[in-house]
Structure 1
């Protein structure tokens, strides 16, 4: 099973290419190691913006909400998500900046969010890395959500919280990279480990996309009866959002 997930294929080539691109930037000193760490941190915002597009698509073409107390859709739902997700990003930004403050010269107090974002955006190689991460996320959105018309299968209330699981895992990996940075006193080791951790996570999530062989295998293993197959398959797909 792991061989099927980790083996490079045409479908996962963009994930491998992105990881290789970041490693080459590090190898040729075209980006500072901490730029990688902070770029993955900034990816939280990119994921949120793409999720706004998903909410719009699901509101327009997807299923109707089955919860009578949760009928928000379209622009009102997108505005609510922006506030909700924005508060989440602000809190995790304060935490992350406070965590790195004593180890990264130039960072201010964790509550000085706007200054700190402006500061990390000026890191060497940040524009290249962000462009790579944006491209990676857009392609993933296209292949995993748009191309297979997955938006027709969701209702707005069901997809609303989906990016949070991925974000929690991602922030855990970034914090883990920080501890590697402290333990080894090397931004390079932290950045390389972060790249490989993220590649592994992305490959696992990509492997359970709609109509994939891995999704079928996992669904059969987890389902206790044929009646559960459809629901288990849907839940596994949601983890890839």
Structure 2
């Protein structure tokens, strides 16, 4: 469940997350744009996951097993991608709406305009951090994905659910942080948030948790088949 050894990617993760912490505490950066970046991190990881699933579909297998009510059927990789985009997209929409509402960042009742205003809300520091996050997650994710042919081994269903555990933890903490922003405690909370985020990213082995969940599901299905 827990990682025992840190990698170069883990040390880079520490640096990437300490940059906004340093900026808010010692350079006078506004905490709100930084929290928006962390909120947008969900979108970055989702887009990367779609690209990974497309690579599996195009390079490895066009179809994979889809579990539905205990029955397994073969579905196109594009079906997995479509389902992920709809399901994950709804999740992102709900999370961002809660964050924007609690943090007081909704500027109108028009949903499209609220999202269109994100670049202006980010400001220079927020845009810088967003670019850093995009670069880090792109390099880190695709290096691990293609290293040792990992993309050839993972199933589409496993890849589809890979981001959820990590993002659930992250977005829960971001939403809690939005409450702190309304009380002017963003500087304090970003310290707590970054430390909590680094802890979960470094010491919780999400891939192992997902593998254990997948194994338990397979065992339940085998027991049902024998019954």
Assess, with a 3 A threshold, how the Cα gap between structure 1 residues 135 and 144 changes in structure 2: closer, same or farther: same
In the TM superposition, what whole-angstrom CA distance separates every residue of 1:107-137 from its partner, at most 9, and x where no partner exists? 335x633322333322331111101111221
Question: SS of the residue aligned with 1:71?
Answer: strand
Alpha-carbon separation, structure 2, partners of 1:115 and 1:181: 22
- Gaps spanning 5+ residues in structure 1: where? 210-214, 219-230, 236-241
Higher relative contact order (CA closer than 8 Å, sequence separation 6+): 2
In the TM superposition, what whole-angstrom CA distance separates every residue of 1:28-76 from its partner, at most 9, and x where no partner exists? 43631111111100111111110111111222344652344351214x4
Aligned length: 207
Structural RMSD (CA): 3.1
Instruction: Give the aligned partner of residue 81 of structure 2.
Output: 78
Matches within 5 A, 1:105-144: 107-108=106-107, 112-122=110-120, 123-124=122-123, 125-144=125-144
Alpha-carbon separation, structure 1, partners of 2:165 and 2:38: 15
Alpha-carbon separation, structure 2, partners of 1:188 and 1:21: 14
Q: Normalization by structure 1: what TM-score?
A: 0.71
Dislocated runs of 4+, deviation >6 Å: none
Contact 2:56 2:151 in 1 (8 A): yes
1 or 2, which has the higher strand percentage?
Answer: 2
Contact 1:181 1:189 in 2 (8 A): no
1:201 aligns with 2:200: yes
Contact 1:43 1:133 in 2 (8 A): yes
